[in-house]
Amino acid sequence: MGIIGFVAFKFLNENERRVSPQATATFKTENLDLRIDYSRPYKNNRTIFGNVVKFGEYWRTGADEATQISFGSKVNFGEAEIDPGTYRLYTIPNKGEWIVALNSELGQWGAFEPNYQMDVTRIAVTPEKLNKKVEQLTLNFENSGNGVDLLMKWDDTQVTVPIQ
């Protein structure tokens, strides 16, 4: 059984004012060591997908800096074999299908699109409708029995990416 961690943290520089708090989610087992660092924007009575986050367009999957995911060993991210390391995680949401991508361009601030030639993989996943709205973007890991799932939840939508 894995250890799942979720820690929110604030920046050390008090001059940096952020609207969206930063967070880290981790998952560790004997074979897996995963970490994701991201910012957690709020819904604030807005329609998120198709409005705030446009369909068919790049989304950094959070706010502020680009979201980064780290793998301590070789993994299968969806169907793609991924080497250990840290990657930029971004998504392209659509009504019936999302593209979830890993990109080797790191350290980016803001909603600037990545250099798509640096994509390591792109996988298609199907969004699920949630019964209960999620006010603040939440990314976490959940033990799936065959590995772990990366869960992305916000508003009334959840996207799941299997990792083995």
**What gap in Å lies between CA 151 and CA 138, rounded to an integer?**
8
**Residue 6's pLDDT is what?**
43
> Could you give the strand order of the β-sheet that contains 75-77, starting from the edge strand earlier in sequence?
80-82, 75-77, 148-163, 128-143
Identify the domain containing residue 144 by its residue range. Answer: 3-163
Confidence of residue 11 (pLDDT cuts 50, 70, 90): very low
Apex CA 89: angle with CA 86 and CA 95, to 5°?
160
**What gap in Å lies between CA 126 and CA 118, rounded to an integer?**
24
Whole-model pTM: value is: 0.87
Q: What is the DSSP letter of 117?
A: G
**What gap in Å lies between CA 19 and CA 52, rounded to an integer?**
15
Check: CB of residue 159 under 8 Å from CB of residue 100.
yes
- pLDDT tens by residue, 105-139: 998 877 789 999 999 999 999 999 999 999 999 99
Work out how many domains the chain is built from and give that number: 1
